[in-house]
Structure 1
C-alpha cells in the first residue's frame, strides 16, 4: 500500500506540471510527457533537498498546479451528487480548501523523489476527441511497477487532468467516498471546515519539516 501511495505522488508530479499554454492540437500524451520531464528536472536539482532553497522551487510547482489542475471540475466530481446543494460561496470556499489540501499533500510527498521512472504505455481518446486516458507505468526504485492512468479533458483549448487512477483506483472516487460519509451526517459547511482543518494541520507539519 505504501508503495502504491508513493507511486501516486510521483505520478501526480506529472499531473501538476502540465503548462497552461499548451496548443490544443498537441496530443494529451505529448503534453503530459513533456511536462513530466520538466517537473522531474526540478526534483533532481540538488537545491530541492535543501529546505530553504526548496521554497522557490515549490512555489514554481504550485504555480503550475493552478495553471493545469481544474479544481472546480475536480471538486464537483469529487463531491458528486451533493455538489448542487452547495451555495456558490460554499463551492468557492471548498475549491480553495481542497486545492490547498492537495497542494500541501503532494508537494510534501514529492520531496521524497528517489529516481522513480515513468513509462507511457497508451493513449485512449473518446469518440468526440475531448476526453483522453493516458496510461503509464511508474517503476519504483525497488523495481516494482505500478500502473497509473491520467484522465484528461480538453477545456478552453487546453488539456487538463481531472482524475488519476492508481492500480485502477480512482482518486476522485476515493475522496468521494470520504466526503459523502461526512455529508450523510452533516452539512457542506462541516465538510469544508474539515477540509480546511486538515489543510492547516498538514501545513503546520510541513513547516516543521
Structure 2
C-alpha cells in the first residue's frame, strides 16, 4: 500500500482533528473521547495564524496524552523489547517518535485539513469497560477512502491508543522485521542510532 505510514500518521491526527459523523448508538466512552477531542484540535488545524510546525507541536502535545508510545514501541520491536535496558527503551521511544514525525507529519497535516472521518456502527465483542476497538472510515482530501481501526485501553480517565490498523495493516508490526534485522547486525544501540539518523527505510 502506497504511503502507508503517512496514512497511519494521518490516522493519528484524525483522532484529534476531525468532526466525527457519529450515530446516536455509538456511545462507547472511547468513541465519546474521540468526539470531544475533535473540537479543540480543529481550531488548531484551521488556525491560519499558526505555522505548520506550530500546529504539529500542539497536536503532538495531545498525542503525548492520548497515545501510549511505550506500548506502541514495545509492540513494534516485538520479543526483542525485553532485552532493552530502561534507558534504551526511553531512548528508542523518543527516537522512534521523532523519526515518524519528521518523515510524515507535514504531508499528513495537509491531508487532514480537508479529510473526513466516519465512526462506523460496528461492534467488537471484545469491547469492555477497559478495552475497545473503534472502527472508522477516513475519506482523504483526494476523495479516497480507507478503513482505520483504533485499538484502545482505559488508563485512569483517559482512553489511550496502542495500535492502529489501516486496511488491515498494523502500525506496530510494519517496521518489526527491519528493526530486528538492525538489532541482529548492529545491536540495540545501533538501532537507536539508526532511528536518530533517520536511516530507517521509509515505509510506502
- Report the TM range for the smaller structure's normalisation: 0.7 to 0.9
Looking at secondary structure, tell me which structure has more helix per residue. Answer: 1
Structure 2 residue corresponding to 1:69, chosen from 67, 70, 95: 67
Native 8 Å contact 2:115 2:139 kept in 1: yes
Structure 2 residue corresponding to 1:84, chosen from 72, 82, 85: 82
Q: Does 1:158 align with 2:154?
A: no
Residues matched between the structures, number: 189
Which ranges in structure 1 are unaligned for 5 or more consecutive residues?
A: 18-24, 203-209
The corresponding residue for 1:206 is none
Native 8 Å contact 1:13 1:39 kept in 2: no
Mark the CA change 1:7 to 1:72 in structure 2 (over 3 Å): closer, same or farther.
Answer: closer
The corresponding residue for 1:21 is none
Aligned-residue offset at 1:125: 5.9
The corresponding residue for 1:197 is 197
Give the TM-score normalised by the residue count of structure 2: 0.80
Mark the CA change 1:160 to 1:125 in structure 2 (over 3 Å): closer, same or farther.
Answer: farther
Aligned-residue offset at 1:165: 0.5
Q: Does 1:118 align with 2:117?
A: yes
The corresponding residue for 1:207 is none
Native 8 Å contact 2:44 2:58 kept in 1: no
Aligned-residue offset at 1:167: 0.3
Alpha-carbon deviations, 1:92-117, whole Å to 9, x = none?
Answer: 11111112223333432233224110
Native 8 Å contact 2:150 2:161 kept in 1: yes
The corresponding residue for 2:30 is 28
Alpha-carbon deviations, 1:141-197, whole Å to 9, x = none?
Answer: 333211011111112342100111000100101022221222233311111111111
Alpha-carbon deviations, 1:39-88, whole Å to 9, x = none?
Answer: 3332223335xxxx344333211211212222111111111100111111
Alpha-carbon deviations, 1:117-158, whole Å to 9, x = none?
Answer: 000003536365322111000112333211011111112342
The corresponding residue for 2:141 is 141
Native 8 Å contact 2:16 2:34 kept in 1: no
Which ranges in structure 2 are unaligned for 5 or more consecutive residues?
A: 18-26
